[in-house]
Amino acid sequence: MGASIEQIDNKLEITEKKTLSDIYQYKTEIAYLRKLVRPVKEITIRLQKSGSELLALNTRNYIDDLDELTTQAIESIDFYHQMLKDQLNIYQIKISQKQNEVMKVLTVFTSIFIPLTFITGIYGTNFDYLPELHYKYSYFILWGVFFAVAGTMVTVYKKNKWF
């Protein structure tokens, strides 16, 4: 199980739903192992401290070995539990970074088209008294204003390295 958990690190570069389900599956298994191993540690501690004559000297050596093994098991379980928590955090950070990139692109497009939509809304009104409506080149001038506004905003964004 430890080797499989360590291999998840290689999969974190590509954020897939399978990686997330693997992390949760291993977290569940590690939590189950924790519940199983911790009581064994308590039992070995009690057996070591007991002064019962029912335990032979040979048996005490085995209990000491069992105590060391459970300590190692608990340390490994805690290590892999922490590793899974870190992997889950890294996965969530990667997803958040991708989402931020998408939001950045959407924000740039929105900020370019909102002023153009505003201008279109003004000139889309049904008023007869708009002097530029009767001018021969007003349609082309409006398109020039659109391109000038959009071009200016794109230039500013590129200068500031926003995209």
- Looking at residue 35, its pLDDT comes to 94
- Looking at residue 114, its pLDDT comes to 94
Output the pTM of the full model.
0.69
131: which DSSP letter? G
CA distance 72 to 37: 10
Delineate the domains of the chain, giving CATH numbers in brackets.
Answer: 2-159 (1.20.58.340)
Chunk the chain into consecutive blocks of 10 residues (it has 163) and report each block's average pLDDT, rounded to whole numbers: 85 81 92 93 88 78 91 95 94 92 91 92 78 82 92 92 78
Torsion sign over Cα 126, 129, 130, 135: positive
- Looking at residue 162, its pLDDT comes to 78
- Looking at residue 68, its pLDDT comes to 95
- Looking at residue 29, its pLDDT comes to 95
